[in-house]
Every structure is written in structure tokens, then in C-alpha cells.
Structure 1
Amino acid sequence: MNSLKPYYPVFKFVATFGVLYLALSLAYYAYLQVEYSPVNYPDPVTALVSNQTKTGLQWLGYDAQIYNAPSNPSVVLYIDEKVVYRVIEGCNAVSVMLLFAAFVIAFAKAWKTTILYLLFGIVTIYIVNLLRLIGLGYVFQEFSSYKEIAHDIAFPAVIYGYVILLWIYWIRKPKVDDGKAN
């Protein structure tokens, strides 16, 4: 048993991460089970991301519109009255944010720093995801022959790559204990 002692921090991290991710995922699952209004369909975060994606595409000069798809829990994005893609719950990046948060909390030392980093990370993940959705709309509209590569490979690499960079920074940054150096 003593031979495992050097690995206790790793076991602690994995256990903490696993429990946190499970708890956050169950809370998110409960959130998704609520019946939301037609305005916030399929859920408020997906509705917000869809609306902001539409606005971003409109800023780029596209005639973008969104409509709820009650038969399928999603929001359909149209450009020039043509379906471009559906925004489903998985497109809102909440599950990516939960994964990020569980990792950061599992590596936490100072709560003030951790909370600030969580806020920074979640806000910037949201922004990166929004830019991802706007970029997908652009690619789907202008370069439709690349839509599978963009959707399945390039843009997931962007958002997950960004999260990995955030994690690397979190692990390697100088640890500060609420204003006191370790």
C-alpha cells in the first residue's frame, strides 16, 4: 500500500473530478427536463446562443433567422430562407463548461482564484462557442462542400483545444493561496 502513496494526489484528483463532473452533469440533466416556454425553447441557454448566433450572422450581412422546431428540441437557423443547420442542446457548450469547471475545481487550491478563473473560463468558452456557431453558419453558407469537416473536425477542435489550453494554464500557473504565495 505504501507503494501507492506517491499517487494519492492523482487518485484524489480523479475521484474529485469524477464526483464533481457527475454531480454537475446530473444537475444539468435536471435543468434540461424542465418544460420551457416557446421563447426559451428547447432551453434558455440554447435559445440565447441561437439568438446570438443569428445576430452575429446578421452583423456579417446575412439574412439570418431562427425558428423553434417543436417536433425536435432544437432551433433551426435559416439564411436567405434556406435551412442552414439546427442548433441542439449540445451546441450550447454547457457540457463543455461543466467539464472545464470539474477539472478546475478538482485542481483548486485557493477558492478566490478558482472562482475568478471559473468565471473567466466559462465566459470565454461561451464566446468561443458562439464564434464557432457563427463560423459554422458562414462555412455552411459559403463553403458547403466543407461543412462536414468544419462541423465534425475543425470547429470541435477549436472549442476543445481552447479548453485544453485553459486547463494547461490552470495547472502550470503559479499557485496563489488567496493572496499568499505557496
Structure 2
Amino acid sequence: MKKYLIEYKPFLLFLAKFFVVYLFLTIAYQSYLSQFNEKNHEVDGFTILVASQTEFVLNLFDASTYSMPNLKEASVKIFFHKKWVGRIIEGCNALSVIILFISFIIAFTGKFKKTIVFILLGSSIIHFFNITRIALLCAALYYYPQYQEVLHGVVFPLFIYGIVFLLWVIWVNKFSFYAKKNTE
């Protein structure tokens, strides 16, 4: 057993760091969300920010885009060409995706300063592409409502997770300590 622990030590350390960071950030995020009463249809501030930024992007293409609180659930309604095309709920804000991203980066350790910069830059990139993804989804749902299931359930999740995967590949191959070992 000791032989396997020694042999798989790097992998086990990766898993331990990943799960500890993921658990810590998830608990912190759930603590943040617990401040909002979903039964009273309260939407967290970050989700409202995402809705506002999505509205801004859509307004670049159609001045009649607007958002408003949903009175029946904890979400923000998005209107495009004055038609209700979607709702933004807590799960749309990509914070859980960013938590996953950060956990992986920390688990695949690199130099402290590079790790912090990459986490901040990568989280900003994920946020930017998430806003773009939601805006594109809203426009697509306006023009192609018959494809709602495939657009919302397949195409756009692949879009955001593809960005995260690309950032992970860049991190592992360019900045992590693993990259240094492979180049020597």
C-alpha cells in the first residue's frame, strides 16, 4: 500500500488540493447565496450584474432590449425586440464554473504570483464569455425558438465549458509546475 501511495503521490495531492479548494469555495458561495430568500424571489447581486451586463450587450444590437425582475421566481427576465426570450437565474452567472476553474488551477500549482494573475484573468475571461454566451443565447432564442432545448442544453454549455477547458490546457502547459518539469 505504501508503494502505491508513493507512486501516486502527485495525483493524490492534486485530488486533495482540488477537493479542499472546491469544498471551501463552494461553502463560501453557498454562504453568500444564503443571504437571499428564494421564496421571496430575491436574486443575488452577481446574477443581477450578469443580467445587467447581458442587457447592455444586447442593447448594442437592439435598443429595445431590457430586463426586469421576475415576480414569480428568483430570476431576471430578459426581453429582446420587446419579446421575453429568457430568464437569468443563479445558475447562469457562471460562479460555479469559476469555482471549478479556480480549484483546478490551484490543484495544478504554479508560482504564486502567476497563479493569482491567471486566476483573476481566467475568471474575467470566463465572465466575459458567459455574458457573450447568454446574449447570443437570447438572440438565438428570439430567432430560433424551436431549437431552445439544443441551444440551452447542449450548444451553449459546450461554449462555456470549452473556454474553461482551453484555459486549463494553457495553464497546465505554460504556467504550472508540471509545465516546467516537461520542458526540462
The two structures share one fold, judged by TM-score above 0.5: yes
Q: Which runs of 4+ in 1 moved over 3 A?
A: none
Cα gap change, 1:7/1:102 in structure 2, threshold over 3 Å: closer, same or farther? same
Q: CA deviation at 1:174?
A: 4.8
Aligned to 1:122: 123
Any residues of structure 2 matched to 1:15-94 within 5 Å, and which? Answer: 15-35=16-36, 42-61=43-62, 63-94=64-95
- For the residue of structure 2 that corresponds to 1:159, the secondary structure is helix
Gaps of 5+ in 2: 178-182
Cα gap change, 1:81/1:175 in structure 2, threshold over 3 Å: closer, same or farther? closer
Q: CA deviation at 1:122?
A: 0.2
Moved more, 63-72 or 43-52: 63-72
Aligned to 2:162: 161
Paired residues, number: 174
TM-score (norm 2): 0.88
Within 1, Cα distance between the matches of 2:88 and 2:52? Answer: 10
Cα gap change, 1:11/1:175 in structure 2, threshold over 3 Å: closer, same or farther? closer
- Asked if 1 retains the 8 angstrom alpha-carbon contact of 2:65 and 2:81, the reply is yes
Within 1, Cα distance between the matches of 2:66 and 2:107? Answer: 41
Q: CA deviation at 1:115?
A: 0.4
- For the residue of structure 2 that corresponds to 1:154, the secondary structure is helix
Within 2, Cα distance between the matches of 1:175 and 1:83? Answer: 44
Aligned to 1:149: 150
- For the residue of structure 2 that corresponds to 1:173, the secondary structure is helix
- Asked if 1 retains the 8 angstrom alpha-carbon contact of 2:109 and 2:176, the reply is no
- For the residue of structure 1 that corresponds to 2:8, the secondary structure is helix
Aligned-pair Cα RMSD in Å: 1.8
1:147-174 deviations in Å (ceiling 9; x for gaps): 2111100110010011011111111115
Gaps of 5+ in 1: none
